[in-house]
């Protein structure tokens, strides 16, 4: 079956995107504080599994519900939007096609209420 996940290159491509995303997030002083004391390798594994699932790949995400995982962080809408813009930029920089990016944007819009304080 042709999924968005397979079209972008599967797990290796998702891993590249997630690594690139966290490099950008951690280098932005407005966002870096959200990751203080976080097990970054674990977080990347969760993000890779979640992004893979969103794109029609393996349903291997076993992390907490998004609301519970982000409750203590008090994420602002501006910061959420910035992370989303970075994710879209990373995907575009990896030559991911517009259909995949549109799908990711739709998911970001749909889960915003679960993440933004």
Q: What does pLDDT average to in each consecutive run of 10 residues of the chain (117 residues)?
A: 88 96 97 93 92 89 83 90 96 92 92 90
Tokens matching residue 67: 């609301």
Provide the β-strand partners of residue 116. 75
For residue 68, what pLDDT is reported? 86
pLDDT of residue 1: 67
pLDDT of the residue at 59: 85
Spatial distance between the Cα atoms of 71 and 17, rounded to a whole number of angstroms: 25
Tally of domains within the chain: 1
Rg (CA), the chain: 14
Range of the domain at 17: 4-115
Residue 44, SS3? Answer: helix
SS3 85: helix
Please report the pLDDT score of residue 63 as a whole number.
Answer: 77
**pLDDT at residue number 41:** 95
Q: Taking the mean position of all CA atoms in its chain, how far away is CA 116? A: 14
Per-residue pLDDT, 66:
82
pLDDT (0 to 100) of residue 73: 87
The confidence score (pLDDT) of residue 33 equals 93
CATH number at residue 21: 1.10.490.10
Residue 62 pLDDT: 80
């Amino acid at each position: 079956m042709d999924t968005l996940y397979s079209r972008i290159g599967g797990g290796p491509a998702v891993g590249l995107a997630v690594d690139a995303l966290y490099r950008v997030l951690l280098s932005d002083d407005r966002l870096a504080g959200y990751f203080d004391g976080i097990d970054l390798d674990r977080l990347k594994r969760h993000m890779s599994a979640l992004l893979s699932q969103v794109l029609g790949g393996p349903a291997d995400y076993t992390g907490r519900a998004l609301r519970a995982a982000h409750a203590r962080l008090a994420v602002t809408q501006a910061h959420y939007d910035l992370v989303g813009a970075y994710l879209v930029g990373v995907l575009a920089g990896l030559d991911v096609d517009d259909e995949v990016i549109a799908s990711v944007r739709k998911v970001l819009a749909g889960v915003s209420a679960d993440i933004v304080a």
